[in-house]
């Protein structure tokens, strides 16, 4: 491993000298270089192949954050260890598991640093640490640990949000009309995107008072929940598709659509006899209006508790069955060959299966509270 080179960057000369002296004990595994500024580090990176950078965040002129952003742009393969005096054990544990850096808190035992360097260079299981995996959470944590004042503009598709920092505290976040903590949680939950740092753009107001550690941990928790919910929803969709496929296997049923609480179609199935194209969004809007008009009519007669609508025509039947627990509903379209009484019995059986799937995967909880 002697072809590996480690660069240590810190504006405290005594610290870099001391670290360098102790790392001599591992010279059979890697070489090391030291410097005392971000500018000097960039000059070394330009001239020498470096495998790992160990840096402080808070440094004059070119901060550790500026240095790492530049490394991410020019040398994304380089592994990174952050030295910080402003750590939080729970946040660091999360960051080490998720992020593209390893963290070590000052003051640290030199033995601990030596082990961390060797483990990371050897790429043992569970160790990542290159800037190829740079994430928004990493940038937020570095801003806070470095006690920096700036803003991060984040874009993901057509969405754009801004997070503001003052002396390492997250003081404001904005996403369209959404501001404060909820804007922050929404931005950090995005699965991907681009971010830019602006040192001059400052917040006009303070909408966030919670500590950054609590904010980041809550944001990461919500992101995990969202990811798990998406996975559960996909599994539920597969199981529910089998249910509606079974429904259209019932004699005379031409079309079955299960609608989510927001009115969008979750799953659908049609029989071979159901030909032609139709605008599903337009159908959803018209059904939504129909249900609302039905509620107004019921209130006129002082009745409530919507359950089912059956509209019988000369050549068929349209049936809407409401699921009040989740505010979702099933639409069935059948032709005149269907036995309407038998269809009602069969649809109840399938609806029990739908209800079981909803409970099993905890579907549509967010839509219910929205």
Q: What is the pLDDT of residue 88?
A: 53
Q: What is the pLDDT of residue 100?
A: 52
State the CATH architecture for 230-369. Answer: 2-Layer Sandwich (3.30)
Q: What is the pLDDT of residue 347?
A: 86
Q: What is the pLDDT of residue 162?
A: 96
CATH 3.40.50.2300-classified regions of the chain = 5-138
Q: What is the pLDDT of residue 342?
A: 85
Among 154, 103, 101, 157, CA closest to 132: 101
* 5-138: CATH superfamily: Response regulator (3.40.50.2300)
CATH 3.30.450.30-classified regions of the chain = 230-369
Q: Per-residue pLDDT tens, the chain, 370 aa: give them.
A: 568 999 999 999 999 999 999 999 999 999 999 999 999 999 999 999 999 999 888 888 888 778 888 888 888 888 888 887 655 555 455 545 544 567 788 888 899 999 989 888 876 433 344 455 567 887 888 888 778 889 999 998 888 999 999 988 999 999 999 999 999 999 988 877 788 888 889 999 999 999 988 898 898 888 877 777 677 788 888 999 999 999 998 889 999 999 988 888 899 999 988 877 778 888 888 988 898 898 899 899 999 888 899 999 988 899 999 888 888 899 999 998 888 888 888 888 888 898 888 888 878 765 544 4
Sheet holding 169-175, edge to edge: 178-179, 169-175, 159-166, 150-156, 194-198
Q: What is the pLDDT of residue 369?
A: 42
């Amino acid at each position: 491993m002697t072809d590996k080179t480690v660069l240590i960057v810190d504006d405290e000369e005594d610290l870099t000298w001391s670290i360098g002296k102790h790392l001599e004990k591992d010279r059979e595994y890697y070489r090391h270089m030291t410097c005392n500024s971000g500018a000097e580090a960039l000059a070394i990176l330009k001239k020498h192949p470096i495998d790992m950078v160990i840096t402080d965040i808070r440094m004059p002129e070119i901060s550790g954050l500026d240095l790492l952003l530049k490394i991410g742009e020019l040398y994304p393969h380089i592994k990174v260890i952050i030295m910080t005096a402003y750590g939080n054990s729970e946040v660091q544990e999360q960051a080490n598991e998720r992020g593209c850096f390893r963290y070590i808190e000052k003051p640290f035992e030199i033995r601990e640093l030596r082990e961390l360097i060797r483990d990371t260079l050897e790429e043992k299981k569970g160790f990542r640490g290159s800037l190829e995996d740079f994430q928004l959470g990493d940038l937020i944590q570095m801003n806070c640990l470095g006690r920096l004042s700036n803003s991060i503009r984040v874009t993901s598709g057509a969405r754009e949000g801004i997070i503001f920092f003052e002396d390492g505290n997250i003081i404001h976040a904005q996403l369209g009309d959404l501001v404060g903590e909820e804007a922050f949680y929404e931005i950090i939950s995005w699965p991907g995107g681009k971010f830019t740092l602006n040192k001059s753009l400052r917040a006009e107001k303070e909408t966030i008072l919670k500590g950054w550690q609590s904010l980041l941990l809550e944001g990461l928790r919500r992101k995990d929940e969202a990811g798990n919910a998406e996975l559960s929803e996909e599994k539920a969709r597969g199981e529910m598709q089998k249910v509606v496929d079974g429904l259209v296997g019932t004699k005379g049923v031409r079309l079955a659509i299960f609608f989510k609480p927001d009115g969008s179609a979750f799953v659908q199935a049609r029989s071979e006899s159901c030909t032609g194209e139709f605008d599903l969004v337009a159908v959803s809007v018209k059904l939504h209006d129909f249900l609302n008009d039905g509620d107004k009519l019921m209130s006129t007669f002082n009745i409530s508790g919507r359950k089912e609508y059956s509209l019988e025509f000369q050549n068929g039947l349209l049936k809407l069955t409401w699921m009040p627990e989740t505010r979702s509903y099933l639409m069935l379209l059948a032709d005149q060959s269907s036995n309407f009484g038998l269809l009602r019995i069969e649809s109840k059986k399938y609806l029990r299966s739908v209800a079981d799937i909803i409970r099993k995967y905890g579907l549509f909880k967010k839509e219910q509270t929205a």
